[in-house]
Amino acid sequence: MIAGLLNTLVGLWLAHTAIFPNVTGAGRDRLILIAAIVTIALAAWARRSDASAWQSTVAIATGGLLALLAIAHQLTPISDVLMFWGVLWAGLVSATVSLWAVLYRPSEAERPVA
């Protein structure tokens, strides 16, 4: 549950960074890459306590795609529009599914038997 809440905050920070890029300053690209790695790590940690694993899988995939985008942006020039939408959607998707995983706790009768 704690990992999901932290991942929600990281996702909201990513969305904020995409909308207001000048707030983070010159180290924005490194911070985005660090946030992508943190998203993957927190989603992997949250997977152990989630009622269903698809939310953390989506967060891991989103963090991975954002990490690829951030690494590609450091190696070669990428359009600012692509970076904006990539960071914004990664932040929004990971925040939404992480918060969903935190709030969705079905009763024992509703849980699927694994």
Q: Are the CB atoms for 91 and 18 separated by under 8 Å?
A: yes
Give the pTM.
0.87
pLDDT of the residue at 114:
58
pLDDT of the residue at 85:
96
Token pair 């690209």: residue: 29
- Whether pLDDT at 108 is above 70: no
pLDDT of the residue at 105:
76
The pLDDT confidence band at residue 24, using thresholds 50, 70 and 90, is confident
Which helix (H) or strand (E) segment holds residue 32: the answer is helix 28-46
Q: Are the CB atoms for 56 and 101 separated by under 8 Å?
A: yes
pLDDT of the residue at 111:
61
Q: Which residue has the higher pLDDT, 23 or 94?
A: 94
